Every structure is written in structure tokens, then in C-alpha cells.
Amino acid sequence: MFSFTKNDEQDLLNIAHQSIEHGLQNGECLKVNEVEYPAVLQQPHGAFTTLKCNGALRGCKGSLEEALPLISTVAYSAYSSAFNDIRFPPLQPVEFAQLKISLSVLSPKVKLSFSSEEELIEQIQPDMDGLVLEYNGQRGTLLPSVWKMIPDTREFLFTVKQKAGFDRDFWAEDLQAYRYTTHTIQD
């Protein structure tokens, strides 16, 4: 599904670094001239940027939607991870040199069909699926990389529920769930 060359991956990492650096200097996201990049990076894709500083999570933001060209999605998600993740204060210049960037390029989402929580749990593929839950305008997701920290399928589902703002025991007949995979690119 993903056909990135090493140069494509390096372009994406470079844009992420440049967008964060641009944010530190100018207080805004880097504007990307998308036509300067290979066609594969101009295709719409969802993507997330995860930032770590000295091994600790420092920000993670992105888009599940395939609304923008990938190169622009990465610029935006990198900037948002550094400056708009409400769990952390905005990135400071002194932290920039210590940042490690991980990009997760998302496959298209696939809607899951189920009539109970148990049926949903049976369909979730550990170590492979990212999961999105949506209900009544609320939405939460976990990337496939989170399986390393939450290896239990039931706990993974409960954590997605909590991210969406639901209680662990929340259930609704019209709850929607989607799975996706990712292609990870790291510094």
C-alpha cells in the first residue's frame, strides 16, 4: 500500500523538522510548495507526528482525514505536535536539538461491522490496527504503535473510548469503529 523511497521518507522527516523550526522562529506552520515534491507525497493522506525529547513523549498530533497532500499534512502535524498538544507547553528552542520525530502515515480507514463490544474486540488485530471510535460528534483514536504500551485488546479499546471522552463501559448501538494501519518513518 505504501510505496515510499528512502528519499521520500527523508523529505517527510525534513519537512517535519523544518516546520517545527519555522514555528520556533515565526510562530506559525511552514507553508509547503507541494508541487516541488514527488507525486507520491502530493497524494492526500492522514498522518500523525510523534515527538520525543530525551526518550519521553513531547507531543503527538495529526489528522485521520485524507484532506491534504501528505507533505502538507506532515508539516501541519509536526507543527501541531510541537506547539498545540494541550498535554504539553509549547516547544522551546532549547528542546529542538534533542527532538526525535516519528511519522505515522495512515492507510485509508476501514469501517468495522459489529453488534456488540465482544464482536468489535474479536475484529481488532493487535500489533497491526490503529482504531478510531466515533459517536455523537466525539472521536478518539490510538495509533498501532500504542500496542507496545497497551498489548491487551480490551484495554486498547477502553483507552480509545477514554480518548473519545467516553467511560470504559460506554456502549451505543450506533457507535462506529474504523481500523487503519500505518507506515512509520523515524529519525
Secondary structure E strands in 107-180 = 110-111, 130-135, 138-142, 176-180
The pLDDT tens digits of the residues spanning 52-100 come to 999 999 999 999 999 999 999 999 999 999 999 999 999 999 999 999 9
How confident is the model at residue 1, as a pLDDT?
A: 67
Predicted confidence (pLDDT) at residue 5 exceeds the cutoff of 80:
yes
CA atoms of 134 and 174, how far apart (whole Å): 9
Residues 149-169, mean pLDDT to the nearest whole number: 96
C-alpha closest to that of 78 among 5, 10, 22: 22
Residue 134: partners with Cβ closer than 8 Å, 6 or more residues away: 164, 175, 176, 177, 178
Q: Do residues 108 and 182 lie in contact, with contact meaning Cβ atoms separated by under 8 Å? A: no
Q: How confident is the model at residue 6 (pLDDT cuts 50, 70, 90)?
A: very high
Quote the radius of gyration of the chain (alpha carbons, Å).
Answer: 17
Predicted confidence (pLDDT) at residue 2 exceeds the cutoff of 80:
no
